[in-house]
Amino acid sequence: MAVLKADILIVDGYNIIGAWDDLKALKKTSMGSARDQLISTLSAYVPWSWKRIIIVFDGQKFNWEDIDGIEVVFTEGKETADTMIEKLAAGLAAANNVEVATSDYAEYRAASALGAWCVSASVLKERLTEEQDSYRRRLADRRDDRGIVLNDILNKSVIDSLQRMRRPRGG
């Protein structure tokens, strides 16, 4: 499947939780655990798949925080996640390639009209699975007699930072 690369992924949090079977089952016992699992799942894809991932949830008190590289937003009581997603799409799509993940048809159409690309919950899940499979294949291709080494799995900027720490200036 050929996929256009977006810079920013905006996720309709509760919509995705309600659409993915594993999260739907988890929310029956703990909605907080389902939210945490969604955040954890998506955090593995920053910054390799998207530069930013923003997950928006309906809330009662506004909160915007970074959790494991994911921007997690809870809207204020009178504002819906859909409204926040539309504001974000409108503001960010002018200067970025923005993708919105939701299976809410009205939200899908609204975000598309604002210039964002849209994917359903099932398409997002499929893409994440494909990326994970691709990553595993790349790792398997790099294995040799020495097994997997950090250079095989770390981003070049991380390797450069580790090299600088290992060889301080002047030493």
pLDDT digits (tens, 9 = 90+) for 36-82: 999 999 998 877 788 899 999 999 899 999 998 999 999 998 999 99
Supply the pLDDT for residue 146. Answer: 57
- Sort strands 52-57 and 8-12 into parallel, antiparallel or unpaired: parallel
Mean pLDDT of 112-136: 91
Name the nearest CA neighbour of 72 among 162, 156, 12: 12
Provide the 8-state DSSP code for 68.
Answer: T
Who has greater pLDDT, 171 or 135?
135
Q: What is the pLDDT of residues 78-122, one digit of tens each?
A: 999 999 999 999 999 989 999 999 999 999 999 999 999 999 999
Helix or strand (DSSP H, E) at 133: helix 121-142
Six-digit token string for 143: 């294995």
Domains in the chain with CATH codes: 8-125 (3.40.50)
Supply the pLDDT for residue 6. Answer: 80
Tell me the pTM. 0.79
Supply the pLDDT for residue 2. Answer: 47
